[in-house]
Amino acid sequence: LVSDLDGFWAMVSLQVDDVRSLFRQVDSLRANNWQPVARNFTEDASILIEKRKSNRKITKSIVAKRNDVVARQRARERLELAKRNVQSKNLNSSHDKLTLDVVESKLIFV
């Protein structure tokens, strides 16, 4: 019964992590006087893995967890990229529609 909700909570956790990363991006933009900051996502994933390194024996479950962390990070990157693509397409299409409306209104009033 509890395992049925594992997928749901995994998706919720991805969304929460995405929101947190967006806030981190806003904070970094604010700190950089609203200028974009170039970031390398692969470095972020390696930093996460390095932070979790310790002197204890590495087991299969630890390796699997590390692979899960990397997979989640890549999924977040893909999700963020897809969201940005959709937003840019929506902005471009709404801009074209507004331009078309303005052109049509000029033709009507002439």
Q: Tell me how far apart the alpha carbons of residues 90 and 101 are, in angstroms, rounded to a whole number.
A: 16
For residue 65, the SS3 value is helix
Of the two residues 4 and 1, the one the predictor is more confident about is: 4
Sign of CA dihedral 58, 41, 82, 80: positive
Tokens 């893909």 belong to: 78
pLDDT at residue 6, as a whole number: 81
Token readout for 17 is 């992590």
Tens-digit pLDDT profile for residues 81-98: 888 888 888 877 765 555
Other beta carbons within 10 angstroms of residue 34's beta carbon come to 8
pLDDT at residue 45, as a whole number: 59
Which residues have C-beta within 8 Å of that of residue 73, sequence separation ≥ 6? 41, 44, 45, 48
Q: What is the pTM of this model?
A: 0.34
Tens-digit pLDDT profile for residues 21-74: 999 999 999 999 988 877 665 555 555 655 555 555 656 666 677 778 888 888
pLDDT at residue 95, as a whole number: 56
